[in-house]
Structure 1
Amino acid sequence: MRAFTASREAGTRDEIWLVEHEPVFTLGLAARREHLIATGNIPVVQTERGGQVTYHGPGQVLAYALIDLRRHGLMVRDFVRVIEQAVIEVLAGLGLTAVRREGAPGVYLSGPGGEAGAKIASIGIKVSRGCTYHGVALNVAMDLEPFGRIDPCGYPGLAVTDLRSLLGPAAPAMETVATLLGEKLADLIEGKA
């Protein structure tokens, strides 16, 4: 991502990379080590993205959005909202109601009163020369236990969930969710949705 972003020119096409990682805890630029509780044998990696600590692992779709913000007339805050909206719309298509939480980027399931409940997607981006990298991690069908080894996103006790926990056997496959998320991100960034 760094090399792609550093070599970009005005005409370089934007890209969205959809990936799945082996187990890893990542620390954002604002991360405080006291939010690492018991990492065990899972590696801890410092990154350049914004935010605190999170977990990535099998069963989670990561969408790395390599976007020229200037080309799309977006400010960083607007871009974060586009990413959140893409996840919210993908979840709505699966019959789930999700919301933003003011001051805490990411996507949360809607609680009984419409407030933010368990977190299902984390966002962390980096901007260099007006272009973004890193992106969003959407929990699909993963082992959620490692989230208990950290204070997710710097919030002690923050509940984290995934689609499998919510939808059971009706949860779509990883590949399906990756495709839906990639397409929705592309449409919203291009202003087609």
Structure 2
Amino acid sequence: MIVKSLGRVEYLPTLEAMRAFTAARHADTPDELWLCEHPPTFTQGIAGKPEHLLLPGDIPVVPTERGGQVTYHGPGQVTAYPLIDLRRQGIFVKEYVFRLETALIQVLDSYGVTGLRVASAPGIYVRPADPGGHAALTGPTDPNRLFDGLAKIAALGIKVSRHCTYHGLALNVAMDLEPFQRINPCGYQGLETTSLDKIGVFTDWPTAAGRLAERLSAQFEVSTP
């Protein structure tokens, strides 16, 4: 996998570049991983409901073809776009999402933080009151209490075209979280969001991006005969 660090780039031109790369690639095109940081931007998934966009204010809203509802990108967040041929990997979308989440959990673990999956709610969550704790989720039966004691630290939103992926994932490292209050993050009213610095982990963007690139590359390494 070819890893490219794009720095801070506008969202829409990056989206257009992903679309162009995916449309032009062929069976022998190497997979790529783009790492970047965006200026403040809300992005809406293809089935996104307008009621989840509460008060966007001066932050632009960009409609996209990815899955999921509305989310926020901004400075202090590592956004990663894996451009991967799933057919060459020999996997389907469910396995792809599982591997993305696994990479995020491994990165968090490297910082002493326990990342958690929540059934039917893609992304990775932490316990702000006990970031390093290892207690299993109890799985509340009340859907209105699904996120009790949890905060979302990483979001996923993907698109697959001709077995090839684009869009990706975002890990909150050291962010102003206020814009998340202007939306129902990922379509969940009242869902708390957090970032590494808010739970006592202080790192810089290049370090976090490097760890994420390493773990994603390992998840999608293709062995050759």
Q: Same fold (TM over 0.5)?
A: yes
Amino acid at match of 1:19: C
1:144 deviation in Å?
A: 0.2
Taking the TM superposition and a 5 Å limit, the aligned residue runs for 1:80-95 are 80-95=97-112
Work out the CA distance in 1 between the residues paired with 2:91 and 2:69: 23
Aligned residue number for residue 136 of structure 2: 114
1:191 deviation in Å?
A: 6.3
RMSD: 1.4
Runs of at least 4 residues off by over 2 Å: 110-116
Aligned residue number for residue 160 of structure 1: 193
User: 1:3-59: per-residue Cα shift (whole Å, max 9, x none)?
Assistant: 000000100000000000000000011210000111100000001111000000000
Work out the CA distance in 1 between the residues paired with 2:110 and 2:170: 18
1:114 deviation in Å?
A: 2.9
Taking the TM superposition and a 5 Å limit, the aligned residue runs for 1:18-97 are 18-97=35-114
SS at match of 2:122: coil
Work out the CA distance in 2 between the residues paired with 1:159 and 1:189: 30
- Select 2:181's aligned residue among 148, 152, 163: 148
| TM value normalised by structure 2 | 0.82
Work out the CA distance in 2 between the residues paired with 1:92 and 1:41: 36
Work out the CA distance in 2 between the residues paired with 1:163 and 1:91: 9
Aligned length: 190
**Alignment partner of 1:174 is 2:191:** no
Q: Which runs of 5+ in 2 are unaligned?
A: 1-17, 138-146
SS at match of 1:58: coil
Work out the CA distance in 1 between the residues paired with 2:107 and 2:222: 16
Aligned residue number for residue 220 of structure 2: 189
Aligned residue number for residue 141 of structure 2: none
Amino acid at match of 2:168: G
Amino acid at match of 2:198: S
Amino acid at match of 1:51: G
Amino acid at match of 1:176: T
| TM value normalised by structure 1 | 0.95
Aligned residue number for residue 120 of structure 2: 103
SS at match of 2:82: strand
Amino acid at match of 1:95: G
Amino acid at match of 2:136: G
Work out the CA distance in 1 between the residues paired with 2:136 and 2:177: 24
Amino acid at match of 2:186: C
**Alignment partner of 1:8 is 2:35:** no
Name which one, 1 or 2, has greater alpha-carbon Rg.
2
Work out the CA distance in 2 between the residues paired with 1:141 and 1:15: 25
Q: Which runs of 5+ in 1 are unaligned?
A: none
